[in-house]
Structure 1
């Protein structure tokens, strides 16, 4: 069981880094025209999606660490 959780933890960590990089790339591609419009723009929506994904993956990683700590006692 611990090996399975460790593999899931590594996968969650890799997914967190993936979403982090995806959000940074979306941020760097933001143009001045994107910032001048009214309401949400495509760049902002991509950044928000990346941040939401990163938060979900971080939460999953924390929960897996808690489970591993509980099982190791």
Structure 2
């Protein structure tokens, strides 16, 4: 499975979601003007990245199961 390029694309997408989530939680925890201005935008980015990651995971599982 580690030799599969699609696996690495899925892994990078999941790490991207985790990175955005950690960044958003960090800015939320600190508060301040930056959080007030950008909190919703950061979480929208996370939702979009999470959508892409889930689609890639579903595609990976479907393609590796034979596409039936």
TM-score normalized with structure 2 length: 0.76
Q: Could you list the structure 1 runs, at least 4 aligned residues long, displaced by more than 2 angstroms after superposition.
A: none
Kept after mapping to 1: 8 A contact 2:27/2:34:
no
Alignment gaps of 5+ in structure 1 = 32-40
Q: CA deviation at 1:58?
A: 0.8
More contact order relative to length (CA 8 Å, sep ≥ 6): 1
Q: CA deviation at 1:48?
A: 1.5
> 1:30 and 2:31 equivalent?
yes
Q: Determine which structure has more spread, i.e. the larger CA radius of gyration.
A: 1
Write the mapping of 1:12-31 to structure 2, written as runs, cut at 5 A.
Answer: 12-31=13-32
- How many residue pairs were aligned? 63
TM-score normalized with structure 1 length: 0.72
1:37-63 Cα shifts (integer Å, max 9, x gaps): xxxx53223212221121111111111
> 1:49 and 2:41 equivalent?
yes
